[in-house]
Amino acid sequence: MRKCDLTIGVTAHNEGILAHKTMLSIFEAAKLLDRHKITYEILVHIDKGDKLTKDNFKVYNNSHLRIIEGDFSDLGLSRNHLASMAKGKYLAFLDADDLVSSNWYYDAYRKLIKSKKPILVHPAYNLTFGRGITNQVLWYVHGTHSYTTDAFLSVGVNCWTSCVMGTTSTFLDHPYPATAHGYGNEDWFFNTEALSYGILHLTVPNAVHFYRQRPNSLLSQSNTQNLAQGYSHLLDIHTFRKLKSDNIKMSKIRPDLVSDATDAIPPEPKEPTTPIEPDLPPPRRSLLYRVARHAYHIIFPPKALEPAVEEDAPEPETPPPRPGDLVPPAVLNEWRKISKIETSLYPTEGSLFNLTEYHADTQIEQGLAYHQLIQPIDGQLPYYIFIVPWVSVGGADKLLINYLKAIEQIHPDRKVAVITTVPNDNKWQAKLPKNSYHIDFGNITKEILDFPRLDRIFTRLIVQLQAKNIHIINSEFAYQWASVHQTLIKDNYTLDVSIFGRVPIPETGNRAYHDYADPDIIAIYPLIHNIYTDNQNTVKERVIQHNFSPHKFVVEYQPAENNLLAITPIYNKYNSAPLKILWASRVESTKNPELLIAIAKKLDPAEYTIDVYGTFCNGYSAEDFDNIPALHYCGAFKSIDELPIDKYDSFLYTSRSDGLPNILLEMAARGIPIIASDAGGVGDFIKPNQTGLLIKEQNNPEPYLDALQYASSHPSEMTKLAKGARTLCEKRHSFEAYLQSMRRHFKE
């Protein structure tokens, strides 16, 4: 049974004597409650407070004041405890380092009691201040427009401040969450949960919440320690994706304050200008006309000349009003009054000149992006999330597709989300299995350039997907996101990554290498459950270089496509010159076309010819292969099936860095002998005297020339190597073998 009309709940922690200013502002605002006979209590909860803070609250001799203590170390739980102890029918929260305007409690209470249904009310203005803040921010607090608008805005911003008043039962029915396990912003969660139950957020005109920013407050910690906002029923994927973005209603605020997400306001059309006529000579006048005009001026002398009026002179442009010019007089009055308590808050001419204005409506593009991202999810939510830069053409993309196919076989009832993080045409999107949702984060958010906004959208997506397994493959954005949200991942997700060979950096002359292990994996190493790779060499290198534990690695040899092993191998018995050699790959720095050219220049075209197939990248062109008699560029290709494989005697591979290239499996399946550089994981498949010729000196053309000469003079030995490669491919790289290995790691 409630014993008063209103409980003013104050959450305290380690504010020290700053809490005195908070209490003075409450006492001042409570005078209107006294005047209008509104009964109230001031209930302070000191949550694991320090001695100075506790001592501060002992000085007050106020019959309305009640102090309780707790040991939550959590703002959300502190507020919940206050609600459970409140004696008022209505409850208003305030943190013990903030202040409120003198009209807040009375005007908010009046608005609440007039409502026939549950509502929450907030001050219409939030003024941010604090030591070290040069520009104060006047936040025009968002009043409910519509359910749809508020839901879209809530994706990217907390539309309402923590200074709130409602019925005590509302706070008991919709408790604040604990800020633990990487989750935070307890007031955002409360605000969105209330809205999801139809409880509207309204504002009190001319009321001000003076919000102090302090680096060591619980609220500041929960808002700045890279915390994620927890799962929200308001933003539930199946509910939110059905909302119509054309139902959004924007605030009537200045157009120049609305973000680019809203329709641009076209400039006013200019008045058409009168065409300028060409200069003409003055008209010739008759003698009679000149005499008559002279007589007229004698009789009627002209008046003194008046300055000419420039009718077409443009009016000076009126500069847009500064935020300080738009502050309502009633708000300025409250601002001046609070300065008697907090002297740093007087609205001086300088502070008004530098005032920054903020509207929640400027964040609408984040909600629009989230709405578009979740459209593909039209059924069961995913169990696994794979985060990749794109789904295009390459070895990592094939590895992703193999993962998805295996999961489809192992868990046919589960869905997988594939999130691509880089703007790309995603050529292989159609190859994703039916168990997959493709979420095109890179393209949908490409106009949003700052990481904090991208982070909020991405985190919202991950949290709402509710999957517990995340797997990163070569996505720099995903690694950056993971390093920001380490507590969130550690407490809520199983994180796996996949890495392959290192990639040389062309601008260093290929002397330095890019490696996702350093710094990306190093930054989040304790979070990682398994590091997947497709070869043993990657394990060996990372253990030596970074001291990674070998027990974290899982080597999954990738399968050759099933139709490959159904192909009858060629096993050519070549005896006639020239030896016909195939080189097929992307023509880029990592594939070392410079070495290929150096080899070809030393070959006698009567004895050896090399045909090159591939797409040019990074500035390479067909001209690089001109005027080399033994070398012929034959064009690009999309699939090995397009190449005339049966006419070649050997396959030459000159890569600088790699995992275990899929193209070697494709050549082995067709029975083509292989000569390859010992780069990355190539040595896992090309084994000397067993499956091919492996070149240890990767940048020296001489060993390649020796290998080609051996191939030309030992055709039967090359056939044995080709058969050995085919046998290894069938035994270790069949999809059945891959699936059996994957079952051990994806059984849960």
Distances (CA, A) of 521 to 496, 524, 526: 10, 5, 9
Three-state DSSP class for 329? helix
Q: Is the pLDDT reported for residue 253 higher than 70?
A: no
Is the model's pLDDT at 264 over the cut of 60? no
Question: Residue 616, Cβ neighbours under 10 Å: how many?
Answer: 16
Q: Where are the domains of the chain?
A: 4-240, 376-555, 564-732
- Other C-beta atoms closer than 10 Å to the C-beta of 634 total 16
Lowest mean pLDDT among 36-45, 255-264, 675-684, 715-724: 255-264
Q: Which two tokens stand for residue 95?
A: 């943190």
pLDDT mean over 396-408: 94
**What's the distance, Cα to Cα, between the start and end of the chain in Å?**
50
**686, 729 contact by CB (below 8 A):** no
What pLDDT does 133 receive?
A: 78
Q: Region 682-694: what's the mean pLDDT?
A: 95
> Token digits for 516?
């996702």
Q: How far is CA 467 from CA 13, 475, 531, 639, in A?
A: 35, 19, 19, 35
Q: Which of 101-110, 344-353, 589-598, 714-723 has the lowest mean pLDDT?
A: 344-353
What CATH number labels 564-732? 3.40.50.2000
Residue position matching structure tokens 């200008």: 273
Burial class of 546 by CB neighbour count within 10 A (0 to 12, 13 to 18, 19+): middle
- Residue of higher predicted confidence among 672 and 182: 672
Going by pLDDT thresholds of 50, 70 and 90, the confidence category of residue 292 is very low
Contact 386, 498 (CB under 8 A): no
Which pLDDT value is given to residue 382? 98
Phi then psi dihedrals of residue 416, to 5 deg: -130, 135
Here the tokens at position 519 are: 């710094």
User: Residue 155: helix, strand or coil by DSSP?
Assistant: coil
pLDDT(709) > 60:
yes
651 closest CA partner among 680, 633, 630, 674:
674
Q: What angle do CA 714, 717, 718 make, to 5 degrees?
A: 85
Of residues 315 and 736, the one with the higher pLDDT is 736
Most confident of 289-298, 508-517, 593-602: 593-602
| DSSP classification of residue 433 | -
Residue-wise pLDDT for 113-144, tens only, equals: 999 999 999 999 999 998 877 778 999 998 88
Q: Is 4 helix (H, G, I), strand (E, B) or coil?
A: strand
- Indicate whether 480 pLDDT > 90: yes
Q: Which of the four pLDDT bands, split at 50, 70 and 90, describes residue 310? A: very low
- One-letter amino acid for residue 519 of the chain: P
Coil/strand/helix, residue 624: helix
Query: Each residue of 129-140: b (16+ CB within 10 Å) or e?
Result: bbeeeeebbbbb
Enumerate residues 6+ apart whose C-beta is below 8 A from 170. 118, 120, 194, 199
Average pLDDT over residues 284-312: 43
Q: Which pLDDT band holds residue 282 (cuts at 50, 70, 90)? A: very low
Determine how many CB atoms are found less than 10 A away from the CB of residue 638.
Answer: 9
pLDDT above 50: residue 273: no
Mean pLDDT of 701-714: 96
What's the CA gap between 302 and 307, in Å, rounded? 14
Q: Residues 356-370: pLDDT tens digits? A: 999 888 899 999 999
**CB-based contact 622:595 (threshold 8 Å):** no
pLDDT band at 259 (very low <50, low <70, confident <90, very high): very low
Confidence class for position 379, pLDDT limits 50, 70, 90: very high
Radius of gyration of the CA atoms of the chain, in A: 37
- Residue ranges in 485-583 assigned as alpha helix (H): 486-492, 520-524, 536-546, 562-565
pLDDT at 252: 46
Q: What is the mean pLDDT of the chain?
A: 87
Q: Which tops the pLDDT comparison, 146 or 289? A: 146
Per-residue pLDDT, 575: 64
Looking at residue 286, its pLDDT comes to: 43
Q: Would the pLDDT of 461 be above 50?
A: yes
Minimum mean pLDDT range among 182-191, 225-234, 636-645, 706-715:
225-234
Write the CA distances from 408 to 411, 434, 608, 629, integer angstroms: 5, 8, 46, 50
The residue type found at 507 is E
- Residue 283 vs residue 322, higher pLDDT: 322
User: Could you tell me which residues come within 8 angstroms of residue 442 by beta carbon, excluding any fewer than 6 positions away?
Assistant: 389, 390, 420, 421, 422, 423, 424
Q: Is the pLDDT of residue 262 over 60?
A: no
Q: What is the pTM of this model?
A: 0.83
User: Taking 90 as the threshold, does the pLDDT of residue 410 lie above it?
Assistant: yes
Segments of 48-199 assigned E as strands: 65-70, 88-95, 99-100, 119-129, 137-140, 164-167, 183-184
Is the confidence at residue 290, as pLDDT, over 80? Answer: no
Q: Which residue has the higher pLDDT, 677 or 220?
A: 677
> Would you state the pLDDT for residue 651?
97
Instruction: For residues 353 and 348, give the distance between their C-alpha atoms in angstroms, rounded to a whole number.
Output: 8
| DSSP code at position 14 | S
Helix axes 364-373, 147-154, angle to 10 degrees: 90
Query: Going by DSSP bridges, is the β-strand pair 65-70/99-100 parallel, antiparallel, or unpaired?
Result: unpaired
| Residue 481, pLDDT above cutoff 70 | yes
Largest CA distance in the chain: 126
Q: What is the pLDDT of residue 206?
A: 95
pLDDT band with cut points at 50, 70 and 90 for residue 566: confident
**Surface-to-core class of residue 269, CB atoms within 10 Å of its CB (0-12 exposed, 13-18 middle, 19+ buried):** exposed
Q: How far apart are CA 487 and CA 493, in angstroms?
A: 10
The token duo for 455 is 């982070």
Residue 177 burial by CB count (10 A; 0-12/13-18/19+): exposed, middle or buried? Answer: buried
Residue 225: band (very low, low, confident or very high) from pLDDT cuts 50, 70, 90: very low
Note the CATH number of domain 4-240. 3.90.550.10
Choice among 259-263, 328-332, 401-405 with the minimum mean pLDDT: 259-263
Instruction: pLDDT band for 509, please (50, 70, 90 cuts).
Output: low
Q: Are 649 and 674 in contact (CB under 8 A)?
A: no
Higher pLDDT, residue 253 or 520 = 520
More confidently predicted of 558 and 225: 558
How far is the C-alpha of 109 from the C-alpha of 724, rounded, in Å?
85
For the segment(s) 376-555, the CATH number from 3.40.50.300, 3.40.50.720, 2.40.50.140, 3.40.50.2000 is: 3.40.50.2000
Structure confidence by residue, pLDDT tens digits, 176-193: 999 888 887 899 999 999
Q: One fold for both 4-240 and 564-732?
A: no
Q: Does 604 have pLDDT greater than 60?
A: yes
3-class DSSP string for 160-214: CCCCEEEEHHHHHHCCCCCCCCCEECHHHHHHHHHHHCCCEEEEEEEEEEEEECC
- For residues 487 and 182, the answer to whether their CB atoms sit within 8 Å is yes
Q: Mean per-residue pLDDT for 299-307?
A: 42
DSSP-derived pairing of the beta strands 513-514 and 503-504 = antiparallel
Residues facing 631 on adjacent strands: 610
Residue 507: DSSP 8-state: G
Residues 592 and 725 sit within 8 Å (Cβ to Cβ): no
